[in-house]
Amino acid sequence: MDSGLLRAIFREITIKQPFERIPEPALVMEEQQSVASYADSAAQGQALSGTHLYHCAQMCALIKPGDVVLDIGCGPAALLLQVARLNPRAEFIGMDLSQNMLEVAREACHQQGIDNVQLIEDDMTRLSMIADRSVDVVISSMALHHLENLGQLEGTFRNISRVLRNDRAIYLNDFGRLKSIESVDYFVQRASDGADADTLLDYRNSLLAAFSLEEFQTLAASYLGPCAKVYSTAFSPLMMVIRTPKRRCVKVMKPEFRRRYSALPASRQADVNQLRLFLRLGGLASAF
Ligand SMILES: C[S@@+](CC[C@H](N)C(=O)[O-])C[C@H]1O[C@@H](n2cnc3c(N)ncnc32)[C@H](O)[C@@H]1O
C-alpha cells in the first residue's frame, strides 16, 4: 500500500465530518465536448471500463428474464448496453435528461444492433414518463451526484420507490463524499494513469459533488425498503452501492466476465481489483 493511500485512509478515519458538498458545475451533461469526452472514457479499455465491468456483473445478479429494468442517468449507455446484451430477454429503459448523451446512446445502440433498449428523456427526480409499479429493477451508475441538492436526491428515491413493483430490486452506485479535499486530490491523482485532463477534472468535480454516506443511508432507509442495504468501500467512502439481495445466480456469465476482465489493460484490471477488495471489506461480495 503506498504512503499516500495510508495518509488518505488516516484522514478519512480520523476526521469526523465530510467537507461541504460542491454541486457539479454542469448538472445535466449537455455540452458537446464533455459528452464526447465522457463517452470516450466509457469505451472499451478506457478509464471507466473496469468500474463498469464490476457494476455490470453486480447488476446482472438482479435481473431475471422478462424483467423491465430502468437505468436512471444512463449517459452514453456504455454500461447499460453491456448489461442489456447479457440479458437479452429483459427489457431496458435508459433515461437521461441530456439530449446529447441520449443521441450518443442511440447511435451506440444502433451500431451494436441492440433491440431490447428504449431511450427516453426524463428527469430522475420526477420519473414523469414511468408509471407507478411498472418496473422490476432500477439501476443507476455514477449519476446521483449530478443532482443539485439533497431534496432532489430525496425526490429521486421517492420516485424509484413509486415505479418499482413489489418484488423490488435496486442497484445504485455512486461516489460517496470524502472527509477532506486532500483525499479527493489524492484519489484523482491516483486515477491519472491513462486518463486525459478532462476526465480527471470531471472525476474531481464528481468527488466534490458526492452525497455523504449518512445522507444515502437516511434516504435509503426512508424510501427504498428494508432490503436495500447501503455499502461503501472500506476506510473511505469513495464508492457507495445501494443494493437489494441477488435474484439470480450469474454462474453461467462468469466465464464471460472473466474474459472481459482479461481483455482490460492492467490499469483497468487494477480498478476492478480495488473495487472488489474495498467493497468486499465494506460487506459487498463481488459478483465474479
Ligand atoms: C456521469 S454520467 C453517468 C452515465 C452512466 N450511468 C455511466 O455510469 O457511465 C451522469 C449522467 O446523469 C445525467 N443526469 C444529470 N441530472 C439528471 C437528471 N436530473 N435526470 C436524469 N439524468 C440526469 C447526466 O446528463 C449524465 O448523462
Encode pLDDT of 253-268 as tens digits.
Answer: 999 999 999 999 998 9
59: exposed, middle or buried (Cβ count in 10 Å: 0-12, 13-18, 19+): buried
pLDDT at 42: 87
Q: C-alpha grid cell for residue 248?
A: 439470480
- Structure-derived torsion over alpha carbons of residues 273, 279, 284, 286, reported in degrees to the nearest 10: -10
Does 169 map to a domain?
A: yes
- Distance of CA 30 from the midpoint of ligand 1 (Å): 10
pLDDT at 1: 66
Look up the domain containing 226 and give its range. 3-281
Encode pLDDT of 8-50 as tens digits.
Answer: 989 999 998 899 999 999 888 899 988 988 888 888 888 899 9
Range 165-174 average pLDDT: 94
Give the H or E element holding residue 168: strand 164-175
Q: Which atom of ligand 1 is nearest to the CA of 52?
A: 8
**pLDDT range class, residue 240, cuts 50, 70, 90:** very high
pLDDT at 229: 98
Q: C-alpha grid cell for residue 260?
A: 472481459
Interior angle at CA 173, CA 46 and CA 154, nearest 5: 135
Encode pLDDT of 121-135 as tens digits.
Answer: 999 999 999 999 999
Encode pLDDT of 216-229 as tens digits.
Answer: 999 999 999 999 99
**pLDDT range class, residue 139, cuts 50, 70, 90:** very high
CATH at 21: 3.40.50.150
Mutate to test the pocket of ligand 1, among 28, 55, 79, 122 (most ligand atoms within 8 A of CB): 28
- What rounded mean pLDDT belongs to the chain? 95
Does 286 map to a domain?
A: no
- Distance of CA 132 from the midpoint of ligand 1 (Å): 22
Does 29 map to a domain?
A: yes
Count of residues making up the chain: 288
Percent of the residues in the chain that have a pLDDT greater than 90, as a whole number: 82
Q: What is the spatial distance between Cα 120 and Cα 99, in angstroms, rounded to a whole number?
A: 9
Pocket lining for ligand 1, CB < 6 angstroms? 27-29, 42, 48, 73-75, 78-79, 96-98, 101, 123-125, 141-143, 146
Q: C-alpha grid cell for residue 60?
A: 446482472
- DSSP 8-state secondary structure symbol assigned to residue 123: -
Does 192 map to a domain?
A: yes
Count of domains forming the chain: 1
Does 258 map to a domain?
A: yes
Does 195 map to a domain?
A: yes
Does 201 map to a domain?
A: yes
Higher pLDDT pick, 9 / 174:
174
CB within 8 A of 245, min separation 6: which ones? 227
Encode pLDDT of 72-97 as tens digits.
Answer: 999 999 999 999 999 999 999 999 99
pLDDT at 40: 87
- DSSP 8-state secondary structure symbol assigned to residue 287: -
- Please compute Rg for the chain using Cα positions: 18
pLDDT at 263: 96
Does 277 map to a domain?
A: yes
Encode pLDDT of 94-110 as tens digits.
Answer: 999 999 999 999 999 99
Q: Give the closest residue to 141 by CA, choosing from 196, 218, 227, 83.
A: 83
CB within 8 A of 280, min separation 6: which ones? 286
